[in-house]
Amino acid sequence: MTMQLDANGRLRHLLTLEGLPRATLLQLLDRAGQIRDAAVGRVGKRNVLAGSAVCTLFFEPSTRTRSSFQLAAQRLGADVLNFDASTSSTRKGESDRDTLKNLEAMSVRGFVVRHPEDGAVARLAAEAGEGTALVNAGDGRSAHPTQGLLDMLTLRQSKGSDFSRLKVLIVGDVKHSRVARSDLHALRTLGAGEIRVCGPASLLPEDGLLEGCQVGDDLDAMLEGVDAVMMLRLQRERMEEGLVPSLEQYHTRYGLTATRLRRAAPDAAVLHPGPVNRGVEITDEVVDGPQSWVLRQVANGVAVRMAVLETLLG
């Protein structure tokens, strides 16, 4: 998406990882790795954004992502404004664009936007003034670029930077997952050796997203020898829509247990974007076990978001 880059190829907004140049993606990952100590509070605040204001503009609920961006902005010295659409003027009929423009008029330069509609953040970015930067914190089923970046940073930490040797398996509801889309775009850009995707046919996309992936519905077979397993949250509304017969049956076929995990490489890393449905897509034994990188993903989220905000606004 060319709107993300300015005329000099510098990052202006972060809307999607699809089509993002490999060099830009690597630059963000490298920067996140460098400032990880500041991100987790081991060293003092970096004041590169002192005097700047960042707004978390959320039209959809979120705990982890909002908190992570808020901490990231604060650790860069920015003033943070939290905007919750459920308690704001949008309930009185104000348009998303007018909300953005009013906050821009208060000299807010950075916007972290979560929205239930596909493409909504890109539409807002098109309306943004010069010097305003937008970060997509998840829109519809489209993209969640910072989650994709933090997943790649976690994979790097667990498996090294040469992705060409990696076999990565993504399991679950890929069709409705903006996280899976961002992960797939990033894995391709970074040259992952083999990408496998496993899930029931009702939860797999039909739009060409899985082109070049090895796709199947037998989790035991798909786990054989993989270096990393990325589990996706089963969105329970899929059960109500009839796309999954029951949580129990889903767990039997697609739940990651310690026994199943033994089919993967001995040091395979287990990732999950959260929130985790324990006993549905993954068991306690695995999510709390020695191969789980789930809490590292959460910590990496702050570092990645600091890198993104610093790159866009610093």
> Which is nearest to 230 in space by CA: 138, 147, 306?
147
CA max distance for the chain: 57
Structural contact between residues 190 and 148, judged by C-beta atoms closer than 8 angstroms: no
* Residue with token string 């903006």: 178
Q: What pLDDT is recorded for position 270? A: 98
Q: How do the pLDDT tens digits run along the chain, 314 residues long?
A: 568 999 999 999 999 999 999 999 999 999 999 998 777 777 666 789 999 999 999 998 888 899 999 999 999 999 999 988 766 655 557 889 999 999 999 999 999 999 999 999 999 999 999 999 999 999 999 999 999 999 999 999 999 999 999 999 999 999 999 999 999 999 999 999 999 999 999 999 988 999 999 999 999 999 999 999 999 998 776 656 778 888 899 999 999 999 999 999 999 999 999 999 999 999 999 999 999 999 999 999 999 999 999 999 98
Which DSSP state fits 133? E
Query: What is each CA distance from 145 to 13, 19, 95, 244, 305, in whole angstroms?
Result: 11, 12, 25, 27, 10
Q: What pLDDT is recorded for position 62? A: 86
Q: What pLDDT is recorded for position 87? A: 66
Query: What is each CA distance from 242 to 71, 239, 246, 247, in whole angstroms?
Result: 39, 5, 9, 11
In the chain, which ranges are continuous DSSP H helix?
Answer: 22-34, 36-39, 64-75, 96-105, 120-127, 145-159, 178-189, 219-223, 237-240, 247-254, 258-261, 284-287, 294-313
Q: What pLDDT is recorded for position 94? A: 80
| Sequence-separated (6 or more) residues with CB below 8 Å from residue 240 | none
> Which is nearest to 71 in space by CA: 265, 279, 275, 309?
309
Q: What pLDDT is recorded for position 247? A: 87
Query: What is each CA distance from 229 to 12, 14, 96, 137, in whole angstroms?
Result: 32, 26, 37, 23
Burial class of residue 290, CB neighbours in 10 A (0-12, 13-18, 19+): exposed
Structural contact between residues 113 and 84, judged by C-beta atoms closer than 8 angstroms: no
Query: Per-residue DSSP letters for 36-55?
Result: HHHHTTSSPPP-TTTT-EEE
Cα-based torsion angle of the residue sequence 292, 298, 303, 308 in order, rounded to the nearest 10 degrees: 120
**Amino acid identity of 148?**
G
* Residue with token string 């287990």: 270
61 prior amide bond cis, ω within 30: no
Query: Per-residue DSSP letters for 69-114?
Result: HHHHHHHTT-EEEEEEGGGSGGGGT--HHHHHHHHHHTT--EEEEE
Structure tokens at 305: 């978001």
This prediction's pTM: 0.95
> Which is nearest to 195 in space by CA: 162, 171, 217, 161?
171
Structural contact between residues 57 and 69, judged by C-beta atoms closer than 8 angstroms: no
